[in-house]
Amino acid sequence: MIATQTRLQFEHLEWADAVIWSIIRGLPQARTDERIQGVLHHMHLVQHLYLQVWKDEPLVMTERSTFADLGEMHAWARRFHAESRRVVSTLTGAELGKVVRFPWEGALTEQFGAVHPATLEESLLQIVLHSTHHRAQVCTRIRELDGEPPLIDFIAWVWQGKPEAPWTASAAPDLSA
């Protein structure tokens, strides 16, 4: 099965995303903030696109306007985590070294001049790091809105006993404006 570190990174990824959504639920000005909504959409879009690449599925670019409200975006985020849990749990060490082909490699070649191959393991790490970057942006914006950003560091999750992601019904965000 998959390397322990990769599995742990994805467990933390889900927990940290769920904690961010819980904070947004409790901060009315965050629920209506365009910057937060834009960053969340981008972060979860990239997660879904990579998942589609890993599963060798056609890419579906879900536009932000697709969602009637933030609650629908929240459900979409949860779907990524449910499906990525299934995909990641079945990977073997040998699969982690396989080269992943991205449909957007042509655009990257234009930007960088050349694109070197990336492995499945490297693309898994990319999603963890990319999501961390964007959660930090959301946390900064939460502070700007006079909220208290959560402590979502990996080690904080470990110190808390690696809790499950708080996606339960009681933690489901009331994301009405």
pLDDT digits (tens, 9 = 90+) for 37-92: 999 999 999 999 999 999 999 999 999 999 999 999 999 999 999 999 999 999 98
For residue 16, the tally of other CB atoms under 10 A from its CB is 22
pTM of the model: 0.92
Coil/strand/helix, residue 14: helix
85 vs 163: CA distance, rounded Å:
15
169 vs 159: CA distance, rounded Å:
25
Q: What per-residue confidence (pLDDT) applies to 38?
A: 97
Asked if pLDDT for residue 35 goes beyond 60, the answer is yes
Amino acid at 74: H
Q: What per-residue confidence (pLDDT) applies to 176?
A: 54
101 vs 99: CA distance, rounded Å:
7
The rounded mean pLDDT for the chain is 92
Separation in Å, CA 147 to CA 41, 45, 120, 142, 154: 20, 25, 37, 5, 21
Going by C-alpha positions, the residue among 80, 73, 14, 74 that lies closest to residue 53 is 80
CA end-to-end distance (rounded Å), the chain? 43
Asked if pLDDT for residue 3 goes beyond 90, the answer is no
134-167 confidence digits (pLDDT tens): 999 999 999 999 999 999 999 999 999 999 999 8
Backbone angles phi, psi at 118, to 5 degrees: -115, 145
Separation in Å, CA 83 to CA 55, 56, 88, 118, 140: 10, 14, 9, 22, 29
Asked if pLDDT for residue 173 goes beyond 60, the answer is no
Amino acid at 148: E
Beta-strand runs (E) in 15-138: 99-100, 118-119
10-30 confidence digits (pLDDT tens): 999 999 999 999 999 899 999
Q: What per-residue confidence (pLDDT) applies to 172?
A: 47
13 vs 22: CA distance, rounded Å:
14
